[in-house]
Structure 1
Amino acid sequence: MTRNILFVALMASTMAFPALAGEFTLTSPDIAEGQHLNNYFVFQGFGCEGGNMAPTLEWSGAPKGTESFAVTVYDPDAPTGSGWWHWFAFNIPADITSLPAGDAINGVQLTNDYGTEGFGGACPPPGKVHRYQFTVHALSTTLDIDNSVSNALAGFMVNANSLASSTITAVYNR
């Protein structure tokens, strides 16, 4: 009986380790889940007056087989019918595990929905609180696309090749 209990305990602990090992996690000293964005991360223009800087992003626990990363910032609450892409960067090398504040990256950046390449800060219409989903994706490959593609096509390619992702959802309203 004791040997059976020991065996079950050993099997249970062995099966738990894969779930604990390699948990892919996104963190930031600048933003937090459910917290209001600082003015540094607000767009400069469209009636907003902010620093238009991307926050520092750090990630760990990328799954085995990760060849590159993609970082996106998306507002699903924008009154467009399709949300608002604030940032879409991909082909970030697998040995990179953080991006400093700003939007300089070693990778490809797409044109955001403001019409500029790189990061574009929060700037919702006055009133309703908007969610800003900062997501990092661990990809099984580098993407064979360039900065001329749409955010939708890049999103398709990222989702088709994603091994794992982690998101911090911050909020902002004015």
Structure 2
Amino acid sequence: MSTFTMTSNSITEGQHHEKRFSFNSFGNDGDNISPQLAWENAPQGTKSFAVTCFDPDAPTDCGFWHWQVINIPASTQELAEGASSHLAAGLEMRNDYGFNGYGGACPPEGHGVHRYVFTVWALPCEKLEVPDDASCALVSFMLNGTALAKSTITAHYQR
């Protein structure tokens, strides 16, 4: 049996990602481009995917959600670089910056290295049953409770 895996031409496990994937605000001048992500070997019974990006090192009590895309059709095997600005399928949820879509890395200057955990989730449902305005915490709760499998790439960034 093959393992469900995610790969990327844009980011590398354990490595700093390029500034172009970082946010363009709060004193940071990145391009806010979402990275290319691809996956293969989804488990049997997968009916949709979700993709998330989470910073567990943010100076909050609950981390920081940079991206949540749910209801990606099972026929999809990749999100192209910059897909967040023109997503063809799936529903982008409100991130912790307060808008729907990808919000790149923007750790406080001098705060050290932050980890950005990109995860693809294989789901047994075509549509994750959450309100369109669901919080990141609720979406995360539902993903963790229903996923058949997940795969991650953790990139780093600091200012």
Partner of 2:104: 121
Amino acid aligned to 1:136: V
Out of 69-78 and 139-148, give the one that drifted further.
139-148
Partner of 1:14: none
Work out whether 1:61 is the aligned partner of 2:41. yes
Work out whether 1:86 is the aligned partner of 2:66. yes
Q: Which consecutive residues of structure 2, in runs of 5 or more, have no partner in the other structure? A: none
- Normalising by the residue count of structure 1, what TM-score does the alignment of the two structures yield? 0.86
Contact 1:41–1:53, Cα closer than 8 Å, also in 2: yes
SS at match of 2:148: strand
Partner of 1:47: 27
Quote the Cα distance in structure 2 between the aligned partners of 1:149 and 1:123.
23
Q: Describe how 1:1-174 pairs up with structure 2 within 5 A.
A: 21-102=1-82, 103=84, 104-105=86-87, 106-127=89-110, 128-141=112-125, 142-174=127-159
Q: Which consecutive residues of structure 1, in runs of 5 or more, have no partner in the other structure? A: 1-20
Quick one: higher RCO (CA 8 Å, sep 6+), 1 or 2?
A: 2
- Give 1 or 2: higher helix fraction: 1
CA deviation string 1:56-92 (max 9, x = no partner): 0000010000010010000000001100000011000
SS at match of 2:10: coil
Q: CA deviation at 1:115?
A: 0.9
Q: CA deviation at 1:146?
A: 3.3
Out of 68-77 and 151-160, give the one that drifted further.
151-160
Q: CA deviation at 1:40?
A: 1.1
Out of 102-111 and 55-64, give the one that drifted further.
102-111
Q: CA deviation at 1:22?
A: 2.8
Q: CA deviation at 1:148?
A: 0.6
Quote the Cα distance in structure 2 between the aligned partners of 1:95 and 1:40.
28
Q: CA RMSD in A?
A: 0.8
Quote the Cα distance in structure 2 between the aligned partners of 1:96 and 1:157.
21
Identity of aligned residues (%): 53
CA deviation string 1:80-130 (max 9, x = no partner): 110000001100000000000111331111111111110000000012100
Quote the Cα distance in structure 2 between the aligned partners of 1:89 and 1:147.
11
Quote the Cα distance in structure 1 between the aligned partners of 2:73 and 2:2.
18
SS at match of 1:49: coil
Runs of 4+ in 1 over 3 A off after TM superposition: none
Aligned length: 154
